[in-house]
Amino acid sequence: MQTGSGIGKDIGNAFAAEGAKGLAFADIDLNAANIAANASKAFSTSPEYCAIALLVDVTSETSVQECMRSFIDTFGIMEFCVNSAGVCSHPPTYPNPGPAGCPT
């Protein structure tokens, strides 16, 4: 299971290129997940390849559970899961000046 953009999308494409039989691209933006799932088919080397898009809000335990349930209902088993969602729910607890112009 991958995210629908950024590093997660690229990791999903790499799994497809290496022969994965099925992937789920899960994102809070279902449209991005659909685009990533469809685009991953161009990288696939498995004739059995199937890619799906799932909606998930990683800040919600219920949403994550529903996403995982949908994945298992579709594929039956999960061998790998990549969590590459960038979420910050509180300010850092250490000094972080960040790059110029970026919030700290």
Is 13 strand, coil or helix?
A: helix
The predicted model gives 79-97 an average pLDDT of 70
pLDDT value for 26: 94
- How many Å apart are CA 97 and CA 27, to the nearest integer? 29
pTM for the full model? Answer: 0.77
Compute and round to an integer the Cα radius of gyration of the chain: 16
Confidence of residue 21 (pLDDT cuts 50, 70, 90): very high
pLDDT in the model for residue 6: 82
Task: Read off the tokens for 7.
Answer: 């590093």
Question: Could you tell me the two tokens for 15?
Answer: 């799994």
Distances (CA, A) of 69 to 1, 26, 57, 82, 102: 12, 12, 14, 16, 37
Residue 78's contacts (CB-CB under 8 Å, 6 or more residues apart) are 1, 68, 71, 72
DSSP state of 22: E
Average pLDDT of the segment spanning 46-73? 95
